[in-house]
Structure formats: C-alpha cells, structure tokens
Amino acid sequence: MSNNILVTGGAGYIGSHIVRRLGEAGYNVTVYDNCSTGFAHSVLYGELIIGDLADIHHLYQVFAKHQFSAVIHLAARLVVPDSVMYPLDYYTNNTYNTINLLRCCSVMGVNQLIFSSTAAVYGNPQENPVTENTPTLPINPYGRSKLMSEAIIQDYAYASRLRYVILRYFNVGGADPAGRIGQNSHYASHLIASACNAVLKRQPELKIFGTDFPTPDGTGVRDYIHVEDLASAHIDSLCYLEQDGESQIFNCGYGEGYSVRQVVERIKAISGVDFPVINEARRLGDPACVTACAQKIKQVLNWQPKYNNLDDIISSSLAWEMSKLNRDNGVN
C-alpha cells in the first residue's frame, strides 16, 4: 500500500500542523484546500492543490493521480456564531462536501478516513466531562453539520470497506513549538486568538460573550487542547487504521475546564499586559460548559499528550502572534 495521504483543509491552522507531522514522519502528503481561510505558506510538506470539495470532478482527478492510502478530512467552516447566521453554507461545506469526498473514496477504493469532528456535537451537555457515549444534541448548525457528517460516514462505512476514526476536537489553541506555523486567519473569533490580539493592541479590548451562564463565574467553560497534541492524535489514528484497527470515535481534549475569565486572567498574567475587558451578551449558539473525558483515546490509541497545560497553550499562541507581528513590522 502507498503512503500517500490526502489532507483536505491542510493549509488551515490545525491541518498545517498535521501536514507538518505527516511530512516529518515520512508520508507523502497532498493537501487539497480552497485557501478560503488557509494559506499556501502554512503547508510545509508535500503538494498543495488549490481546489474546492464542491468540485467533485477536480477531486476525482486528484484521487486518480495519487492513489491515496488514507484521507484526513478537515476542510470545513468552523465558527459557531457564523454557522447560526449562514447555516446553508455550513451544511454545504461541511456535510454535502463530505459526501463528495466519500464518493471519491468509494470509486477509488480508499478505505481509511480520519474525520475532523467537534465537541459541538454534544451541544449543552447535562453532565461534564462528556464521554463518546454522551447523547449528541447539537445546539447550532455547525455542530449539526458535523454530526450529520459523522452519521453519513458511519452509514457509508457499514455499506463498504471503509474504516474511520472520528476525532471530536475540543477547543484548540497553541502553535508549532518550533514557531514555524500557527493560526493565521485575518479575523480571530476564537478566545485565545482574540485575547492575543488584545495583548498586541490589534484590537482595543476583549469582549466576554456571556457572563450569566450557569458556571462558577458565569462565563463559558471549555476544554483547551494544544494543536500539537491534536496533531499527534491524527498520527496515532492513522497508525491505528494502518494496523487494521476498527472504526472509532474519540474525544480530543484534556478533561480540564477553564472559564473565559480564567483564560483571560492567565493571558494577562503571562503577557504582562492588562488589556481592557468588556462584558457583552451571550453569542448565538454558545453552550455553557463542555469538557472532554479523554480516557478512550488514551486507552485505544495510547495517545500521550505532551502539552496539557493551559499556560503552555497560551504561551505558545502568544509567541506565535508576537512573531507574526515582528514579521509584519519587518523585524527578524
């Protein structure tokens, strides 16, 4: 079997870290990305093909040329409030386009798939941490678009030889420890990226969206995972599928919840910058609290996170944002 791997969305924040790890491990990587939120310069290994999953004819050509042994599928839209405003874009990009990808896998006989899913499939869970068996009741179109994709993958796998690993990402932060790649999006909607922008005065303040959640300090609680550990989860999943592992769903988080206020306090302490914070109303589609039970991925894949510390995630994000600022200002 070839060691050619297709990574959809491989020019994006998480995808580029996975591509780097695949390249370092000796895989031949092909990235398929429309570069709507990804960047060619983030792809450190392999070949970047600019294309959209909606263009199934182009996708077939790419499959026919490369004979992939496995597909890692990340390409998607992923901003929760955005999904509430533009649901059809989310169902088209995230759900319909996953069917296009599976059609290509079917025709070309590619039988190993790693799918980027999300904690948003759990919605506002009654109890935390959530296990993979916690009921999936998404409360926004983003979560529903991913849950539908999970169901489609499972149904297709039942009817074919496909084996899959579905990884449900919790809140991803941090950057490449060697500082080569990190989050690049022009518009930072995620908490850590947005707070880094406040530190660096790219934005005047940080807004806290919701201070009346049923959580200890009233702000949203999330489980933050370092992008490097999430990339490791993909490499471990690939090895598992290569060794004939059966289909699985895994949570990818650390099992620690931090509130928005706690994250903001740590970012202020680590950066030494006391940026202004403004309390705002809740955002559309935001749950109160979601944290992961990650026992299953540790047991089945022997996944061993190395950066499970909020301060490490924040420091690494800050270092990346500082280096971007220096590059923008022409400082080496």
Which residues would be at the binding site for ligand UFG (CB under 6 A)? 78-80, 118-120, 170-171, 189-191, 194, 206-210, 220, 222, 260, 283, 286, 290
Using alpha carbons, list the distances in angstroms from residue 181 to 23, 212, 227, 235: 14, 36, 11, 18
| Minimum gap (Å) between residue 208 Cβ and ligand UFG | 4
Nearer to ligand UFG, 79 or 153 (CB): 79
Tokens representing 59 are: 């996708």
The 3-state secondary structure of 218-244, one letter per residue: CCCEECEEEHHHHHHHHHHHHHHHHCC
| Minimum gap (Å) between residue 83 Cβ and ligand UFG | 9
State the residue number with the nearest CB to ligand UFG.
220
Nearer to ligand UFG, 69 or 98 (CB): 98
| Minimum gap (Å) between residue 169 Cβ and ligand UFG | 6
122 is a catalytic site residue? no
Nearer to ligand UFG, 77 or 180 (CB): 77
| Whether 86 contacts 290, CB under 8 Å | no
C-alpha to C-alpha distance for 103 and 117, rounded to whole angstroms = 19
| Minimum gap (Å) between residue 61 Cβ and ligand UFG | 30
Q: Is the peptide bond before 129 cis (omega within 30 degrees of 0)?
A: yes
| Minimum gap (Å) between residue 297 Cβ and ligand UFG | 16
Nearer to ligand UFG, 165 or 289 (CB): 289
| Whether 123 contacts 173, CB under 8 Å | no
Annotated catalytic residue within 27, 90, 142, 258: 142
Nearer to ligand UFG, 66 or 190 (CB): 190
C-alpha closest to that of 18 among 164, 150, 172? 172
C-alpha closest to that of 182 among 320, 41, 77, 19? 320
Residues serving a catalytic function are 142
